[in-house]
Amino acid sequence: MNKSELVARIAELADLTKKDSEKALNATVLAIQEALVKGEKVILTGFGTFEVKQRKARSGHDPRSGEHIEIPSLKAPTFKSGKVLKEVVR
């Protein structure tokens, strides 16, 4: 499912126009992004949790040259699915 298909499905389920559904989806994604940038967790009970985790620096290798490289530490967004979502998907 791509974004336009998701917008159409939201419009259908929530009895909204596609334009309003797209605004709602865009606002939701923006709100999640803003919270993550601030270092906050976003918990959607039954669906899952979005958060930013710090990855440690590590060594790796360049697959093209085989050369060893140092990979710096970085912040990465993560998602952990909730219990209800896991059960529904099974």
* Residues 48/82, Cβ–Cβ less than 8 Å: yes
Whether residue 63 is found in the same domain as residue 87: yes
Contacts of 85 (CB under 8 A, 6+ apart): 46, 47, 48
pLDDT digits (tens, 9 = 90+) for 12-54: 999 999 999 999 999 999 999 999 999 999 999 999 999 999 9
pLDDT, residue 86, reads 94
Whether residue 10 is found in the same domain as residue 20: yes
CATH number at residue 71: 4.10.520.10
Whether residue 66 is found in the same domain as residue 85: yes
Whether residue 25 is found in the same domain as residue 54: no
Whether residue 51 is found in the same domain as residue 75: yes
Domain that holds residue 11: 1-39
- Global pTM value: 0.80
